[in-house]
Structures are given as structure tokens and as C-alpha cells.
Structure 1
Amino acid sequence: MIHNDDLNDPLGENHVGTSAQNPLRSDAFDKTDEEKIALIKKDVESILVTLGMDLTDDSLKGTPNRVAKMFVKEIFGGLHPNKKPNSSTFENHYKYGEMLVEKNITIYSTCEHHLLPIVGRAHVAYISSGTVVGLSKMNRLVDYFAKRPQVQERLTMQIVQELQKVLKTEDVACVIDAKHLCVNSRGIRDIESSTVTAEFGGKFKEEKTRREFLDYIKLDTTF
């Protein structure tokens, strides 16, 4: 059945992003975290009351505050540029000239169309042009860009673009394989499907280099 609301929101129902950057208002950071939590708490209370929930119940009375804190401090914490991890770089003294691959980076993000979880893994690689970055910084950058309302295509591109800037090289690649609960738990309710996105820069656009990266991803690295 097609609902009227679906017809009025074709982009959201088809999980299409409309911007290469997260769509933020110019006043997005005018309020403090505490002010945002207080406002969101009231909004969550209103939603639950509208749904008919009894907020005097022990199980529910703290929910509005918990949800508000979770939104601001945790799952959407990556919206604020002050939360971006410091990506310290180092000179490649050991002259390592092959690609470096950090695979199976856990992703927890949120679909910006339905505010439901996106859960999956990212595989990131780069070829040094003279600069290297600490391994954990790659994981932290992925987590930073994931902690916001997102679309997977944008997330993939943001990871690559940020590492290109940090490492001063175009030779960066990222593949993400993730499940979207807006597909798995509602709508079509397909619990088996996942979404794969990829962004290849510089040498990774070449078939040989891209194939090498994809072969590394397939390696069984269970320890």
C-alpha cells in the first residue's frame, strides 16, 4: 500500500541524499549541549505523551532525558566540528611504499531519513606520499563522521576526503558494507540485504590497485 505521506516524501522513502555535506543550519552550534538536551527532552516527552505513554511509570520517567543526552552526546555527537579527532601525522621514515589497509572498522550511524540505525563495517586504505597517520586515528575518523544523521554514500565520501586532506594524497579508498534498519525493520523489512558503497581516489581508480585493495578486504583475518 502506498501512503500519501510516502508520495510527498519520495527522497526519504528511497533513501536518497541531496547534499555532499550534512545539511546543517547556520545557527546549528549557537546553543550549548545542555540547552539542546533540555529542549530535546521536552520534545521526546511530547512524542511519548502523544503516543499515549504514561511517563510516571518507573521504566519511562527517565526516558526523555536519556534519549536527549544520547542524541547530543553520543549518536549525533559527530555533528559538532569540535568533536573531530586530532589526526596527527608523521613522516614516513621507514619508506613503506605499499598500501595500508585498515579493515573491518565497526560503524554505528543513523539514517537521516527515519532516524534508525545503520550498522556495518568500513574498510579504508591509503598509499603514503610521505606522510602516515596512526592506525587508531582512521577508526576515530570513521566514527566521527558516522555519529550524525547520515546517508551511506556521503559517509563514504567524507571519510575519503578527510583522509586525503590529512595525508596530503589523493590515494585513499573506502568501502562500506552496512545494514540499514530503515530497510531491515520497517518498509520492505528485508533482514538479509545490506548496502555497499565505495569511493576510490588517485591510484585506487586504477584497476590493479583497486583489485589489490578489494582482495585484502576478502582476507580471513580472524585471530
Structure 2
Amino acid sequence: MKLNGTLSSTTETSEWESNIDTMGDEHIGSPKIETPMREGAFDLSDDQKMEQIENHFRSIMDIMGLDLTDDSLMGTPKRVAKMYVKEIFQGLNPENKPKMALFNNSYHYDQMLVEKNISFYSNCEHHFVPIIGKAHVAYISSGKVIGLSKINRLVNFFAKRPQVQERLTVQIAEELKKLLETDDVAVVIDAVHLCVSSRGVQDTSSSTVTSSYGGRFKEDDVRSEFFAHIQAPSPS
């Protein structure tokens, strides 16, 4: 229990920490669509972020007892900092959101469009280890169509941040609904979580599937057609 913004006892603090750890292990996602960000999250430049991350990561390595004078390790803090800001977490910066090319559906295509087997890499926000998966995305045009590669770029933009798979699925679906001005959007993600396979239970055979169905995709026959497209073999 919290009293005046603080936890009321050591026992309750321990219980709270235990609950947080369990939430991470069970991969319970936040119901919020937006990625949790603190106020002032974008006040620092990329260079300032990399400098601070480099210093903090050097301290972590030192605490772990690693020899930072070794030629294999001395550059690691800088490499990790650059990787965090410029690569695997670049989707945190709204300036990196891809430009979306939209066109009028002048050819009056009225069937679903499916972009499947979109490979992505993300990172579990509970343990900061990789999520590796594929996304399958479909929509039925209400007058607008989107450049095919833009769907892949949108998936990867939302993937390149600390994530939970449930939120990632909904973020992709809701963004496409807004862009295309239609509820007829479906997203299915099948992914392997290294927080499951490389730690804890260490199950290397399981994967996690999440889905979001809007508009006509809530109808059994439309959803069945989508599944058939996903399961059909791709051209080699």
C-alpha cells in the first residue's frame, strides 16, 4: 500500500517488488497503447544520450568486474550507447517515424491486401532482451492505399523500442486505421521472446501469438480468408 506516495512498510515493499518481478516473468502487458515515456523524454540530443549511456554502461561493466582496459571490452560502452540510441531503440524518437506514402484507390481494389512475414526485432521492456518475430498485416481499402514497403517500415518503427508484444500489435493496428481512415485492419504477430528462452523457464520451443482485428476482420469469413493467406506458401 502507498501512503503519501511512499510504500508504507518494508514487508509491503518486498511484496510490491515480488509482484513486479512476476509481472515481468508472466509478460503482462500494459493496457496503454502509448509507450510509457517520462516528461522531458526528448530534451536530450542523441549525442547527449549516447554520452550518458556510455558512462553508465561503463559503470555497469566495472561493477560486474570486467576489465575495461582489455582491447575487446574498452570500446563496448560506446558501442552499446550507439546501438541503443541509433539502432535498436530508435523508434522511441518520433522524428524517426517513417513518412507514409498514401494514394487514392483509383483502381477500385475492394479486396483485402495482405503483407505477411514481415521480419522484425524488438526488445522486451521487462528484461531488455530481444523479441524476434514476424508480423502479418492486412487491410481493406476505404479509398486509400499505402505503399507496401511503408507497412514494413511502420512495423519496424514501433518494434524498435522497449516493448511488450500486446502493445506492439495494437500500436501497428491503430496507426494503420488512422492513416487509412478505416477500421478494416488486421495484425497478427508471432514472436520468440529471449526472456522466455534464454532465462527463467528457458523454453526454446514456444512462441507468442497476438492479434488485433478491426471492422470487417471481426467477421468469421473475412478473418478465415486472412488466415488462409498467412498460411499459404510464399514464392521462393
Structure 1 length normalisation: TM-score?
A: 0.96
How far is the alpha carbon of 1:7 from its aligned partner? Answer: 4.8
Matched position secondary structure for 2:209: strand
Q: SS state of the match for residue 190, structure 1?
A: coil
2:80 matched residue in structure 1: 67
Partner of residue 12, structure 1: 24
Q: Which residue among 58, 62, 73 is the counterpart of 2:71?
A: 58
Give me the whole-angstrom Cα distance separating, in 2, the residues matched to 1:149 and 1:64.
19
Distance 1:35 1:172 in 2: 39
Instruction: Give the unaligned 5+ runs of structure 2.
Output: 1-13
Structure 1 residues 7, 131: CA separation in 2 closer, same or farther (over 3 Å shift)? Answer: closer
Residue in 2 that maps onto 1:24: 37
Correspondence 1:175 to 2:193: no
Letter paired with 2:29: G
Give 1:114's aligned residue: 127
Separation in 2, partners of 1:210, 1:55: 54
- Among the aligned pairs, what percent are the same residue? 57
Matched with 1:127 is: 140
* Alpha-carbon offset, residue 6 of structure 1: 4.4
Shift of 1:15: 1.2
Residue matched to 1:146: 159
* C-alpha distance in structure 1 between counterparts of 2:157 and 2:234, whole Å: 25
Aligned to 2:5: none
Q: CA deviation at 1:16?
A: 1.3
Shift, 1:11, TM fit: 1.6
Instruction: State the match for 2:94 in structure 1.
Output: 81
How far apart in 1 are the matches of 2:234 and 2:18? 43
TM-fit CA distance, 1:8: 5.0
Question: Unpaired segments of 5 or more residues in structure 1?
Answer: none
SS, match of residue 9 in structure 1: helix
Query: What's the CA shift string for 1:181-219, capped at 9, x where partnerless?
Result: 000000000000000000000000111101100110000
Aligned partners of 1:6 and 1:13 also within 8 Å: no
| Alignment partners' CA distance in 1, 2:127 and 2:145 | 37
